[in-house]
Structure 1
Amino acid sequence: MKGAKIYGIRDIRVEECPIPEIKTPEDIIVKVKAVGFCGSDISRYGKLGPHTVGAIFGHELSGEIVEIGEQVTNVKVGDGVVVCPTTPCFHCEYCQLGKYSKCESLQVIGAKEDGGFAEYVRLHSRSVLKMPEGLDFETACGMEPACVVMHGFYRTKIQAGDTVAVLGVGPIGLFAVQCAKIFGATKVIAIDVFDEKLEIAKELGADLCINAKDIDPIQVVKEMTGGSGVDIAVESAGNPFTSAQVLSLPKKGGTVVFMGIPYGDVAISREHFEKIVRNELTVLGSWNAVSGPFPGKEWPTTLHFMKEGKIKVKPMVTHRISLDQIPETFEKIYKRDSFFGKVIVFPEGKEC
């Protein structure tokens, strides 16, 4: 089979690899139907390099089961499945409490174990959920990032009628726009510096879109909320600047939830930092997409809303590519040659 292996910074190669085999009675082999680029993949390609040199990259995937171990009971050969790529140890203090996102040795496929940028992948059977009838593989491969956002909103105390600002509308931010509405927000404000992203955010339900390159988003948010600010501000850009700026968006007693990861030091001015104290903000970090009982309610909940058409993936997809196109596409994203939204890989060379 073909697989895209990462060897170093800006060094991904599509190579012939052995088809994975069942190793334990609870293993399954999945034929990958669709797999997405994650923002963390892009950072690891351009800045950080691989966790394991030569590992098959990728972790946002859906596929069809082609083989199962003798003790597998939750799925069968031929089932379409969505994949939870994150595996806790199930033994540490946090795992014993069912707090799997806090596991001391959390692993994600595509890091130390081979991932989804391939024709086939081996997984533990507990890491998949059966796809409902009518859900397509392209939409289903967006499950993991959508669950990351769902996990973040479960961390908050969002209520029906709240106003939510989403700072940064890449894929995580676009899922945040949709999930905010699902959780009951009546007004969602999308903020970014790219009009292309804001147009997608509007299509996916944002009530107001602000290009922060043209206007001060803090001022606009204050004006539209009668001078108070939003109930919840989501930082999903993963940018050092916005990681400070987001603190000035909520009202007094409001909430900030960090879903993005800034791959750089964050310098916070007094103007932004003092909002934590003076406005008595709740500041939350949100990591990954799993909880107890594993993989957590994020997964069936997200699957339900995808089936209902209330969490959409297709509008954010700008590039659909084959396995062979992975290296050149990563390089184009790194060089910022053109606008990229969500990139989906189809190992079979056709859309699903």
Structure 2
Amino acid sequence: MRVARFKTPFEVDIEEVPKPKPGPNEVLIRVMACAICASDAEIIRGGNPNPGHEIAGVVEEVGEGVKRVKAGDRVTIYWKLGCGECPYCRAGFDVHCERPRYLAWNGYGEYVVAHEEACLPLPEGVDFIEGSLLTDTLGTPYAAVMSARVSGERVAVWGCGPLGLMCVQLCLELGARDVIAVDPISSRREMALKLGASLAVDPTAENPVEALRKFAPPLGPRVAICATRSDDAGRAAMNGVPPEGRVVYIAGQPGELDRHRWAYRIHYFKRTDYESVAELASRRGVRLKELVSHTYPLERVREAFEMRFRNPHKSLKVVVLPHEGC
């Protein structure tokens, strides 16, 4: 089988290696699509040459004791599970586990072995490219929007990359009155408007907090979702809601917070949310394909990473296709 081995995010070799065999409670997945995550570059720089966890594919073989899935099942991967024993897990917050288990890597290859607990069924009518977006790109924003309690509210979404654009859609789908998008990249502001935002603000052309207050006087929308790692945007998101307003951070958060405003950080979604996430995708409550700007075959994975990380003005979600037929 072919697999990508990274030296840096932009130095990669395609190697031929033996196809892995699933062990007890494991499955072999034929990878049909793997979406590039913003964390992949950090994972590579941290010394892991085999990133890739936003995976969708087909179960090809099951190991001893597997009961959840069978050969031929179409699946996506929930790549992080709690230990079940730490205080967070015992309290029902396994997504914040102190000793998480990482269940699948190496998605930029033709096959990957994963624990059966990592496998989530793809809904009917959702293809593999869309399926690779169900966890990180849909599930995590879903958790953020649910935490923000957006129904009936005006909501500011800071950062209109794939996560922010998904938040725009989810806010409207889940009952927000209006969504105001903030992003310095014109193509992303245009996409936010296409997906239903009422206003798109360029923070390099005007003071975004003042723009929000003009749209929702006198102190701006009561809810903000920050889907960018920019510290400036994180602070502005906090300043852009009134006292007792709510701010949810997805990609990060500034070092200092305001005790007069409610803030929460989301980094993944609960496995128990997947049924709702899958239902949204199945009934087309969100437009997944709108967020996919580029697809590449496995042999062009270096180009895929360059497009994702060096061309933010041109790219949104970039997906690698190790096999044909997606």
Question: TM-score interval w.r.t. the shorter chain?
Answer: over 0.9
When residues 96 and 5 of structure 1 are mapped into structure 2, their CA distance, relative to the original with a 3 A threshold, is farther
Deviation (angstroms), 1:18: 2.2
When residues 74 and 333 of structure 1 are mapped into structure 2, their CA distance, relative to the original with a 3 A threshold, is closer
Tell me the distance in 1 between the aligned counterparts of 2:186 and 2:263.
28
1:33 aligned partner: 32
1:100 aligned partner: 94
1:183 aligned partner: 174
Tell me the distance in 2 between the aligned counterparts of 1:335 and 1:127.
31
Deviation (angstroms), 1:203: 2.1
1:173 aligned partner: 164
2:315 to 321, 328, 340: 340
Alignment of 1:184-203 (within 5 A): 184-203=175-194
1:59 aligned partner: 53
1:141 to 109, 113, 132: 132
1:236 aligned partner: 227
2:296 to 312, 317, 321: 321
When residues 29 and 154 of structure 1 are mapped into structure 2, their CA distance, relative to the original with a 3 A threshold, is same
What secondary structure is seen at the aligned counterpart in 2 of 1:331? helix
1:151 aligned partner: 143
Tell me the distance in 2 between the aligned counterparts of 1:99 and 1:337.
34
When residues 107 and 11 of structure 1 are mapped into structure 2, their CA distance, relative to the original with a 3 A threshold, is farther
1:87 aligned partner: 81
1:114 aligned partner: 105
With 335-344 and 78-87 compared, the bigger mean Cα shift is at: 335-344
When residues 107 and 312 of structure 1 are mapped into structure 2, their CA distance, relative to the original with a 3 A threshold, is farther
Tell me the distance in 1 between the aligned counterparts of 2:130 and 2:139.
13
Tell me the distance in 1 between the aligned counterparts of 2:307 and 2:282.
33
**Percent identity at matched positions?**
26
What secondary structure is seen at the aligned counterpart in 2 of 1:348? coil
2:265 aligned partner: 285
The count of corresponding residues between Structure 1 and Structure 2 is 325
- Residues 216-272 of structure 1 show CA distances to partners (whole Å, capped at 9, x for unaligned) of 21111101112121121111011121111111111221101111137xxx576xxxx
Contact 1:6–1:50 (Cα < 8 Å) also in 2? no
With 1-10 and 219-228 compared, the bigger mean Cα shift is at: 1-10
2:16 aligned partner: 16
1:73 aligned partner: 67
1:214 to 201, 205, 208: 205
Tell me the distance in 1 between the aligned counterparts of 2:55 and 2:287.
15
Contact 1:322–1:346 (Cα < 8 Å) also in 2? yes
Unaligned runs of 5+ in 2: none
1:302 equivalent in alignment to 2:277: yes
Deviation (angstroms), 1:50: 3.1
Tell me the distance in 2 between the aligned counterparts of 1:261 and 1:84.
21
Deviation (angstroms), 1:335: 3.9
RMSD: 2.1
Deviation (angstroms), 1:91: 2.6
With 174-183 and 59-68 compared, the bigger mean Cα shift is at: 174-183
Letter of the 1:120 partner, please give it.
Y
What secondary structure is seen at the aligned counterpart in 2 of 1:35? strand
What secondary structure is seen at the aligned counterpart in 1 of 2:301? helix
Tell me the distance in 1 between the aligned counterparts of 2:310 and 2:160.
20
1:50 to 46, 49, 53: 46
Contact 2:161–2:188 (Cα < 8 Å) also in 1? yes
Letter of the 2:217 partner, please give it.
G
What secondary structure is seen at the aligned counterpart in 2 of 1:193? coil
Tell me the distance in 2 between the aligned counterparts of 1:159 and 1:8.
40
2:6 aligned partner: 6
2:306 aligned partner: 331
What secondary structure is seen at the aligned counterpart in 1 of 2:189? helix
Contact 1:59–1:108 (Cα < 8 Å) also in 2? no
TM-score in terms of structure 2 length? 0.92
Letter of the 2:87 partner, please give it.
E
Tell me the distance in 2 between the aligned counterparts of 1:233 and 1:64.
38
Tell me the distance in 2 between the aligned counterparts of 1:59 and 1:346.
13
Tell me the distance in 1 between the aligned counterparts of 2:150 and 2:191.
25
TM-score in terms of structure 1 length? 0.86
Deviation (angstroms), 1:332: 4.6
With 83-92 and 134-143 compared, the bigger mean Cα shift is at: 83-92
Letter of the 2:269 partner, please give it.
A
Deviation (angstroms), 1:42: 3.5
When residues 51 and 68 of structure 1 are mapped into structure 2, their CA distance, relative to the original with a 3 A threshold, is same
With 83-92 and 60-69 compared, the bigger mean Cα shift is at: 83-92
With 194-203 and 99-108 compared, the bigger mean Cα shift is at: 99-108
Tell me the distance in 2 between the aligned counterparts of 1:302 and 1:12.
33
